Structure 1
Amino acid sequence: MMRQLKNKLILISLLIFVISLFFDAFKIEDIGKITNFESYTVALIGFISFLGGGLFEFFVWTANCWFFLSILFTFRKKYSTSSIFGIIALCISASFMLWHEVLASGSGRTAKIQSLEVGYFLWLASILFITCSSVYSKITEKKNA
């Protein structure tokens, strides 16, 4: 019973993550023009953002790594470790809400964030879901022991 629930929780979290890739993550105003950043683009090229000087952008992107580690440890029934990784991912990803500007070009030009979009919030929801699932699984595991 617990194994089926664990697998469903992982699948739901991954499904939310995949769905987030089909939406815009955020909008910026760069040189008087509004530009949408698609979630799939941010996810695919985020890991190389530090090459263009985007160290902080790269840091936010690492929330994906922590998220997938959380999923891996949930799958392995290491719920405490999964919860810790999930909380790290959640803190890093949520910190983006405090940003006012992002790197707009490799030359170091920044642009004002106009709005956070559905893709960002779904990404955040997928991380929150696996984190809460890990905590819930740990609690129910203790009760059943």
Structure 2
Amino acid sequence: MRTNKYSSCQIIVSVISIAILICSFTQPAFYIDRQGSQDAWSNSLFLFFLGWLFLLGGGLIPFLIWLANPIYFLSLALSLKGKKIGIYLSLVSVILAIIFSLLESIITSESGAHSKIVSLELGYKLWLTSFLVLSFGTIICKYFNDDSNSQNL
């Protein structure tokens, strides 16, 4: 039986995680080294909603990394329902987000041209942080829920 303490904890973790995610949309995700432009940055909100388009340009790896977003929302929903698989899915989204930091370049045009990623910016860092908050917050909520259930027995 699920206690109110767990659901309250999970709701708080989820709200904080979503708030951080929304904040990430207001910041640049990363800067690229593009010829003729010193301020070539990627809009976080644009990447969040249209990152799946990387697949159409031949960018399988960026598309797979973008899948961290729907996996995050699936894990969010499952975690709120108290499903253990929500924890595992949230960890998958964290791993995919971290893999992005290992990329040296990214597709920047429909023709498949690549640009070097010069720096990861606050948008990316907040995006990753929102995933981390959900993952570790859910694990902590689950730990405290299991601990309180074992004391009630």
The TM-score, its normalising length taken from structure 1, stands at 0.94
Does residue 48 in structure 1 map to residue 67 in structure 2? no
Q: Which residue of the other structure, out of 82, 86, 97, is the alignment partner of 2:90?
A: 86
Deviations 1:38-74 (A, max 9, x none): 1001111102220111211111100011111111111
Give the RMSD, CA atoms, in angstroms: 1.1
Does residue 33 in structure 1 map to residue 37 in structure 2? yes
Q: Distance in 1 between matches of 2:137 and 2:110?
A: 38
Deviations 1:97-125 (A, max 9, x none): 11110001111110000100000000000
Percent of pairs identical after alignment?
28
Does residue 113 in structure 1 map to residue 117 in structure 2? yes
Contact 2:6–2:142, Cα closer than 8 Å, also in 1: no
Does residue 16 in structure 1 map to residue 20 in structure 2? yes
Q: Which residue of the other structure, out of 50, 58, 62, is the alignment partner of 1:57?
A: 62
Larger-Rg structure: 2
Does residue 124 in structure 1 map to residue 133 in structure 2? no
Deviations 1:111-143 (A, max 9, x none): 000100000000000000000011112211211
**Gapped regions of structure 2 (runs ≥ 5):** none
Q: Distance in 2 between matches of 1:65 and 1:21?
A: 16
What's the counterpart of residue 140 of structure 1? Answer: 144
The TM-score, its normalising length taken from structure 2, stands at 0.90
**Gapped regions of structure 1 (runs ≥ 5):** none
Q: Distance in 2 between matches of 1:108 and 1:102?
A: 9
